[in-house]
Amino acid sequence: MNQLNLLWDYQTADIEVENISKEIKRSPNRQQLVKYRDSLLSLQKNLARIEDEVLAMQDRLEALSDAVKMTENQIQGIQEKLQAKEPENTEETERYIADVKRLINNLNDYEAEIKRIRTDSNEREKMQRDVKLRAARTKKEFDKLKEVYDAEFQQMNERLNAAKAVADERAKPLSQAYLDKYQTIKRHSFPPLAKMIGSQCTGCNMSLPSGVVKDVQSGKEVECETCGRLLVYSE
């Protein structure tokens, strides 16, 4: 057998390797697992975002609680001042009243905001629970399917390794130059070798010039001008 025919046999084994690899990648179980994993990742992202929001709310609540304390102290300060010494005139009284009114308004604003944040925060906690529940369910489904897929994968992987072993064996009598050529063509056309039947390349179904046909028939190494595949003569 010449190198070209040996390379043809190698290609047959290589096609089997590619087919099994594709089968592994296209496995519905594997694709479902990828979906589960993606949805788990997005749930985790969601959870992290909610946690950040809750943290920001807690910070704001602390700041508001400090502001409330400060304002209450200010009001108390004014009360103490008034108890120690009564205002001397109406103007002073009005100033005190205005100050206290302003401070009470501030207090009301703070309390309204605190209430709003508490409501939001409760909502976030409910969301957190929901997301966690969904994540736990998805993880359970993932684990269940993973077991099934692992067994399936082991089987397919054994087939793949057997096919690879056949390909490796068939590569042994081939020169490195031929193997390199095969790999180079494989990058743009698969399978890289095509039989020539009559004057046609079976890789792309184009007719070949008579000069090329003769070269292929005489066993020369010729690539199809259209698809770049290495042509193998077939009677």
- Establish if 117 lies at the interface with Zn ion (CB under 5 A): no
Shortest Cβ 16–Zn ion spacing (Å): 22
- Establish if 224 lies at the interface with Zn ion (CB under 5 A): yes
Q: Kind and range of the H or E element at 201?
A: strand 200-201
**Based on CB atoms, which residue is closest to Zn ion, 103 or 196?**
196
Burial class (CB in 10 A: 0-12, 13-18, 19+), 195: middle
- Establish if 203 lies at the interface with Zn ion (CB under 5 A): yes
**Based on CB atoms, which residue is closest to Zn ion, 43 or 194?**
194
Q: Among 6, 24, 117, 227, which residue interacts with Zn ion (rule: CB under 5 A)?
A: 227
**Based on CB atoms, which residue is closest to Zn ion, 20 or 201?**
201
Please choose, out of 76-84, 151-159, 173-181, 198-206, the segment that lies near Zn ion by the rule CB under 5 A: 198-206
Q: Are 192 and 229 in contact (CB under 8 A)?
A: yes
Q: Among 204, 215, 223, 233, which residue interacts with Zn ion (rule: CB under 5 A)?
A: 204
**Based on CB atoms, which residue is closest to Zn ion, 170 or 229?**
229
- Establish if 201 lies at the interface with Zn ion (CB under 5 A): yes
Q: Among 19, 155, 226, 234, which residue interacts with Zn ion (rule: CB under 5 A)?
A: 226
Half-sphere exposure of 144 (CA within 13 A, CB side): 6
Rounded distance between C-alpha atoms, residue 158 and residue 235, angstroms: 36
Please choose, out of 77-85, 124-132, 182-190, 199-207, the segment that lies near Zn ion by the rule CB under 5 A: 199-207
**Based on CB atoms, which residue is closest to Zn ion, 117 or 227?**
227
Beta bridge partners of 193: 230
**Based on CB atoms, which residue is closest to Zn ion, 28 or 198?**
198
Neighbours of 174 (CB within 10 A): 16
Angle at 106 between CA 103 and CA 107, to 5 degrees: 90
Closest by CA position to 186, among listed 23, 2, 22, 15: 15
Please choose, out of 3-11, 32-40, 68-76, 220-228, the segment that lies near Zn ion by the rule CB under 5 A: 220-228
Dihedral sign (CA 179, 180, 181, 185)? positive
| N-terminal to C-terminal alpha carbon distance within the chain | 15
**DSSP letter, residue 233:** E
Restricting to residues 142-161, name those near Zn ion by CB under 5 A. none
Q: What are the residues binding Zn ion (CB under 5 A)?
A: 201, 203-204, 224, 226-227
